[in-house]
Structure formats: C-alpha cells, structure tokens
Structure 1
C-alpha cells in the first residue's frame, strides 16, 4: 500500500455506469461480458479502473455515477468491495440521499487520514418547495422563465454534503454534485429540441442557483469548502449561455465582485478567459453521427478563498494532455478504457 503523502489529495471522478460492474450482492462482475463502455468487457473496465484509482492514490474521491443503492443493492458494499480488491487506501465509502436513478454520488476515503459524516444543510421544504436553499432532497422554487410564477425544482441526484475532519484536526465541508444534463432527450424536430434544451438549461441554472445559496451560507459562516463533481456544464459550452448570461458553473463559482464570496477553480477560469478556444477538458465522448470524438470541460473542483490561499495544485488526469500520464502508457490506456470522464484532483499542501 502506498505511503500517504504530506498534505491532502481529494479528487472527483465520474465513472461511466459503475453500477453495471456489480451484482446485487455488491460482488464485482469481473468477466468477459460486455460493459457499458464501447467494445470493453466488464473485466477490462474493472482492471482499468483499478489502475486509475491506484495511480490517483487520493485520500478521498467523490465518485459520480457510483453503484446504485436501493432495496436490493448497496453503493457502500460495492465500493468497499472494489477498494478491498484493488488494495486502495481509500477503502471506506459513504453516500448521502439516494438517487432516483441508478447513479449515486458517493465518497470513498482513507479512514486513517479522514473521517466523513453525511451532514445535509438546509431545512426540508414542503411539497410546495422553498425559495431559501432547502435541503437538497426536497424542493426548490424559482421563477425559471421570468413570468412571475415560480416553478418547482428537484435534484434527481441530490448533492452529497459531507463534514470532513482530517487526523490533524482540519475541518472541511464538501459538496459532491452531479447536475442535470441539458441534452434534449426525446425531442423530435429542431424546434422541439430547442424548446426542450432551453427548458433543461433553465432547470440546470436553477439547480446551480440553489447550490450557490448553499455556498453563500458556508462562506458567510467561514467554512473551508470544496464543491466538486460533474456539472454537465461549463463556460462557453453551448449557445444558450448567451441567452441566460452565465453558465451554471459561473453561478456556483460566484458572480459577485467580493473576493471573500467567490470560489476558485483554475480550469474554469481558463475557459472563461479563453478567446481562442484553448482550455482544458475533462471528458471525451464519441459522436457517432459525426464519426469523431468531442471533448468538454464538465468536471470541477471549486474551493473557498482560504483553501485557494494555500496554493493547491489542481490536475486533470487527461490521457493526452497531462505529461505525467502520457509518460505511462498503461495509465494512459486505462484512463481511456475506464470511463468517458477523467479524474480531477486537488492537492492541498497545508491541510494535514
């Protein structure tokens, strides 16, 4: 087992349909049957994930699209089985509110370095919803289309809110996020696709406004905060950003001029400042109609001003753009085989 480094490494990783790699008893399906990854067996995907998680060697990983929790399946059992099989330091798992889908948000961590407690904030709303940052498994109200009538918003995957404590006594707040996709699934025809895209975009932004209300509460309280995960969104990602003024990522980072109330993510900043299309990417998808790959910046780790002041090191584990990855062919190929997203990590040198 790798010796722990100085400081703290946290990461976020969207593992494409991790759930399909386990049976109902949480046992790994390490076989030659096809996985959800194109031309990849379940055994091959599990082997690739073992290489990636081992290389990450993180003290804590927010896993997006973690295995399902329901009456028959357990996210915790599946992830702890995987960690034990691979020999990871990060071997204890925790989730928050279960998802309405088969994809959970979970946190896998090293219990020798961290303790983690599910600690949801906000009051539960009524069925009518609340305008004031309700608990993430309830209902938020927001006027999506400026008609003076507020609509109800829910998360299909409620953000995971954790209170973390390091063995050195540092207290951290962590929010794991998997925001709603804006893809116009089910729409037939160009007009219907545009209409549904705008509707999904509004819901996405309302979710991000809800998240931002929670961020405001933590920053006002002086908490050391990390917000991480897959936003299915980013600066400049589509034409609807012009319609609404800001991306959801910008909203969560903070649009205020007050530096004490803004979160920091250098990859998002690069995308915001880019004028020639040069920016990092964290996901790679194959578009069959175009017969080519498309890359996007969808995964982020945003931190509060006090954590940013410690000069942390952010890294996207991109198989072609990150030199320490491209230099290791086995890791490069594993990243391509394991998921359509790549991990994003942050090293916090002053946190022990």
Structure 2
C-alpha cells in the first residue's frame, strides 16, 4: 500500500466557489504559472503517485462560500484519480486546510480527534488539537497558551480487505520564517519567538503520538513540519529540532517502541559532509538562487517500518522522476514542495 503527503502551493486559488477546477489561462498564485498549467501538472503528479491515501497539505479552503471536500472530490474526478474520497478535520482560518484523499475501495477513513475540547480539563494534559494547551515555553514557570493555526488532522484508518486498524495524523507545523521583521533585531526576535511556538506545537504533537504508541496502536505521522535537523542556527539555542521531538530522538531512557522512524530524517541527523535529502525548493529573489530543504516527512511506528520503502518524488534527485520529462516538469510546475511517499505492508488477517 502506498501513502503519501503532498504540500500543494496555493491549491485553493485553482477552484471557483463551487469547487470546480479553474482550467483557464489566468495566472495562478504560483509565479509565471497559469491555473490550467498548474492543474494539469498536479493531475500528472497525483496520477504518477497512484497512492491509496494522500495527505494534502495546504488543501483548498473551507469557509461560508468554499468547501474543501467538494473541491478535492471534483479535482479527483477531473484528474481520474482512484483516491477520490476525502476526509478532513477541524477547519482553520488560514485558507490552507489539511485533508486526506483516499481510495474508498481500499481504505476507510474517519476524523477521530483525541483530547478534551476547549474549556474542559485543567490545561495540563494535551487537549484536542483545536483547543489551547498551556506549556512553559521560556522556563519562567508560567504556562503560556499554545494553539495550532492549522490543527493536525487525526484519523482512524482501516484497511478494508483485512480490517487492520491504524492511526494517521496529518500535520502542518508553524513556519519559523520571521514574517513582518523590519530590521535585523526584529529578525532575531521573531525567529526565536516562532521557533519557541513551533517547538511547543511539536511537544504537543509528540505527547499525542506517544499516547498512541504506549497503547500499541500503529501510527503514521506525515506532512510539512517546516523544520528539520540542522536547518537553522536557532536550533542550537533550544537543543533539538521539532522533527527530533516528534520522532522521540534525544529522550533519555525512552523505549525503542516509543520512537517514530523516517529514514530521511535519520539521514539528516547523521549527516556530516554528505548532502541531506530535500523535499522543497524555494526561489530566493534577493540572492537569485534556489533554496532546497527537507521539510516533509512520513514518520511511522516501529511495527510499520519493518518492510517499508520511502521515496521523495524530487524532479532532480529521484532518477525515475528526472528521466521522465513530463513528470519532472510537472513536479516543478505543480508546487514548491515535492510529494513524499511510503510503500508498506500491513498485516493480513492471519497475522492479526
């Protein structure tokens, strides 16, 4: 079975208010790309993925006039995808929803949030992801309110053929970019504040993940973490990246059964002189160059990692993508992120 995550830049701008794909020559929100070109590129990429489930990061918006599920269902119908069913969780206010597209003949998916809702509990236990969690972020012994601008999507998943159940959490962790900075001092201050908030979200997510692992539930955590080992100098200030926190890396005395695994994260953690894998590519206008980074991950529990194969669908680093010109160009046109997939084997009924 193949499960993937894909951050689609400005996906929302490709649909009208009825969720119909805008197949015209008007400019998309991507630089120098028309809406038709981006949609056709996305159709090529999604079909090449041929995944049983795709966690869509920055999915089309849901509000009074727009509907994420309707838009993605019509996209799947237009593109001819077998992953045509859609499930989403808590709506956010950023115009970048998190939703899963899946093949309803292969999988069942149900939004199944855990934790107490807003206003219940004492705020010291991890609540529902659309609530507020109070954590001491700056060691002053005061608990600061933490919230997700994009609450993670918690799913109860089942394989139809075997009824094998597992958990899946789609995430889009807060960006650390110093938006709004007017000078170097602002850059430093905002970067540290954003790093602190980003790590707090990862701590919250880690507590939820560890609960599932302690209960023996197979789990997949996937999406855009806007982070990774060694990505910026502020990581040294806090000791670990958010990715390491969610994986369980660096926690003393923790059982191996309570770790998550992603080989690309492992490679980045162990790198010395070797280049790390990358999953996103951004053009830096002042420097007239591209910045490549590893931001997208598919983390799995140890039981699922045993016979799994990961792949970053990078147009230059993946040989099959590079030597397929139509797919290579589609990946570059469709988004500033590239899909990350995992092929894995679930237990059969006889295996439990």
TM-score (norm 2): 0.96
Which residue is equivalent to 2:241? 247
Q: Distance in 2 between matches of 1:95 and 1:54?
A: 21
**Which residue of the partner structure matches residue 129 of structure 2?**
136
Q: How many residues align?
A: 344
Task: State yes or no: 1:33 paired with 2:26.
Answer: yes
Structure 2 residue 278 is matched with structure 1 residue 281: yes
1:191-210 correspondence to structure 2 within 5 Å? 191-210=185-204
Deviations 1:122-153 (A, max 9, x none): 11132897221100000011111111111101
Residues 35-74 of structure 1: matches in 2 within 5 Å? 35-74=28-67
Distance 1:219 1:225 in 2: 8
Report the alpha carbon displacement of residue 351 of structure 1 after superposing the two structures with TM. Answer: 5.0
2:287 paired residue number? 290
1:211-237 CA distances to partner (integer Å, 9 max, x unpaired)? 000011000110000000000000001
Structure 1 unaligned segments of length 5 or more: list them.
1-7
For 2:159, the equivalent position in structure 1 comes to 166
CA contact (8 A) 1:59 1:109 kept: yes
* Residue aligned with 2:260, SS: coil
Q: Cα distance, 1:161 vs. partner? A: 0.3
Match of 1:222 among 193, 216, 222: 216
Q: Is the 8 A contact 1:219 1:260 kept in 2?
A: yes
Q: Which runs of 5+ in 2 are unaligned?
A: none
The aligned residue for residue 185 of structure 1 is: 179
TM-score for both structures, normalised by structure 1:
0.96
- In 1, the alpha carbon distance for the partners of 2:324 and 2:180 equals 41
Q: Quick check: 1:226–1:301 contact (8 Å CA) kept in 2?
A: yes
Distance in 1 (alpha carbons) for counterparts of 2:13 and 2:121: 35
1:307 matched to 2:307? The reply is: no
The answer to whether the Cα contact below 8 Å between 2:304 and 2:345 also exists between their aligned partners in 1 is no
**Residue-by-residue CA offset, 1:161-196 (whole Å, 9 max, x unaligned):** 000001121111000000000111111111111011
Q: How does 1:145-160 map to 2 (within 5 A)?
A: 145-160=138-153
Q: What's the C-alpha RMSD, in Å, of the aligned pairs?
A: 1.2
Q: Aligned with 2:157: secondary structure? A: strand
Residue 276 of structure 1 aligns to a residue whose secondary structure is: coil
Match of 1:342? 338
